[in-house]
Structure 1
Amino acid sequence: MLFLARMLLLSLHFVAAGMVGLLLGLCRPFNPDNSRLCALFYSWPALRILGLRVETETTSLRDHVRSAVIVANHQSNYDLFVVGSVVPARTVCLGKKSLKWVPFFGQLFWLSGNVLIDRGNAVQAKQAMLTTTDTLQHKDTSIWVFAEGTRNLGKGLLPFKKGAFQMAIAAGVPIVLVCTSTYVKHMQLNRWNSGTIKIRSLAPIPTAGLTLDDLPALMEQCQQQMHACIDRLDAEIEGRV
């Protein structure tokens, strides 16, 4: 019963937050700070509805020098609410073109200045990457990317896609890793206290001077650091550390 009540409230909240965000986007279209504000609209009430406690250690994310490529792990659709509270100022997101058809949210996503990529169209995808490189270099804006490209459903990190790391190298900007504990399999939405989630950001990884020859090593370095950090977060929640 509690789960059903939460899903109903969450659905209503999703629509309401989308409408508020859409008005914000219409008032100041494509402003890169719209994403942060909209993420907060979605996140704060949703976490209370879901009964989730989120603990954050994100100083390196909050204080990073703009611009940067922010790389996060992607577990489920709940990530919108879970990581929404830590999105820094002037940060836009890289997303699938199909998102634009989601009522309210899709139009809001577009008006917030986020970048939509059609992964099935190589020419358009390449053009989008060029646009994001220009954004990173000249517009004092960071790009948030779920580098796995899809949800891992709490089964561990999936192989990373190259795009985020190619962007960082092309623009010569640092990569900031944001790690979220494995919550999908552990949250219990039929209880008042549904569970604890930890989010931690790591020290920026510089890319200045790197070339595409360094891409495999850079991706491996980032994946190893994220994997180790997520394991530590999970251990802390389970009381093993």
Structure 2
Amino acid sequence: MMIVWQYLRSLVFIAQMYVMLMVFAVIGLPYALIGGRRAAIHVCRGYCLWVRVSARWLVGLKSEVRGAVPDGDVLIAAKHQSFFDILIIYSAIPRGKFIMKKELVWTPFVGWYAWLIGCIPVDRGKRGAAIKGMLAQAKDSRFAGGQLVIFAQGTRVAAGAKKPYKIGAGALYTDLGLACVPAATNVGVFWPRHGILRKPGLAVVEFLPAIAPGREIGDFMKTIEVDVETASDRLMAEAGFVPK
């Protein structure tokens, strides 16, 4: 009976989340268009905070940010387990933008604000050309400044699953000459990649110690993988997750 009740709560939560996405997007659009990037960021962060609060109210899913939140010009190489880690990260950082799938540009509401806040669309099917284009856009003045978030494995990865880390994070690190802050998470334990059920508990995103610029790309890639996977495994174990 309890699991049925949690499914019903999850359905209500998901429904209101998408309704409120439209509300925030439509009501905030004039403000974002007039106020530019800073105003668009305020709208997006407001929505992310709404989802975090409503997740706590409706499904018992609390969320927490640990570690020193980066506030300067920096690269963030993050673990990506579900939509929720995007929202937690963005609600925490002051001037965030993402490396994102090119297809999302054409998504109503999401695409509008992604463009306004300076996200960088990447055609993942083109590999070498995609990395070259990503690096060029990252240096474009429209995308300048703030915290650039890249999901280091290139896609959502289920809790406990292992996937290789993509070279894109290393290419940005070496080409932009920025420090990189790895970010770990356990959100996939409570909010999986697929399905309706949202479980109660404490979802965490943890910002780890920064990696100074100037490392060789191979060393950098090994470091972020060890740091992020070790910390994510620790957070998932803390949440009671037992790998299969």
Q: 101-110 or 122-131, which moves further after superposition? A: 122-131
For residues 76-155 of structure 1, the aligned pairs below 5 Å read 76-86=82-92, 88-121=93-126, 122-123=128-129, 125-133=131-139, 139-155=144-160
Q: TM-score, normalised by structure 1?
A: 0.81
Which of the residues 74, 79, 84 maps onto 2:80? 74
Give the CA deviation at 1:150: 0.8
Residue in structure 2 matched with residue 233 of structure 1 by the alignment: 235
8 A Cα contact 1:73 1:157, kept in partner: no
Deviations 1:74-114 (A, max 9, x none): 1122333333322x223321111100111111111112211
Output the amino acid matched with 1:198.
Answer: V
8 A Cα contact 2:65 2:88, kept in partner: no
Which of the residues 218, 225, 240 maps onto 1:216? 218
Is there any run of 5+ residues in structure 2 with no aligned partner, and where? 1-7
8 A Cα contact 1:134 1:171, kept in partner: no
Which of the residues 17, 40, 56 maps onto 2:65? 56
Output the amino acid matched with 1:174.
Answer: A
Give the CA deviation at 1:227: 1.0
Deviations 1:174-201 (A, max 9, x none): 11011112x323359878x822112211
Q: TM-score, normalised by structure 2?
A: 0.80
CA distance in 1, matches of 2:156, 2:228: 16
Compare the two structures and name the one with the higher helix fraction.
2
8 A Cα contact 2:189 2:239, kept in partner: no
Residue identity (%)? 23
Cα distance, 1:48–1:145 mapped onto 2, change above 3 Å: same
SS at match of 1:78: helix
Residue in structure 2 matched with residue 18 of structure 1 by the alignment: 25
8 A Cα contact 2:76 2:150, kept in partner: yes
CA distance in 1, matches of 2:52, 2:33: 26
CA distance in 2, matches of 1:37, 1:185: 29
SS at match of 1:53: strand
Is there any run of 5+ residues in structure 1 with no aligned partner, and where? none
Give the CA deviation at 1:34: 5.1
Residue in structure 1 matched with residue 165 of structure 2 by the alignment: 160
Q: 167-176 or 74-83, which moves further after superposition? A: 74-83
Output the amino acid matched with 1:185.
Answer: V
Equivalent residues, number? 227
Output the amino acid matched with 1:224.
Answer: V
Deviations 1:148-188 (A, max 9, x none): 1111122335211111221111121111011112x323359
8 A Cα contact 2:120 2:138, kept in partner: yes
Residue in structure 1 matched with residue 4 of structure 2 by the alignment: none
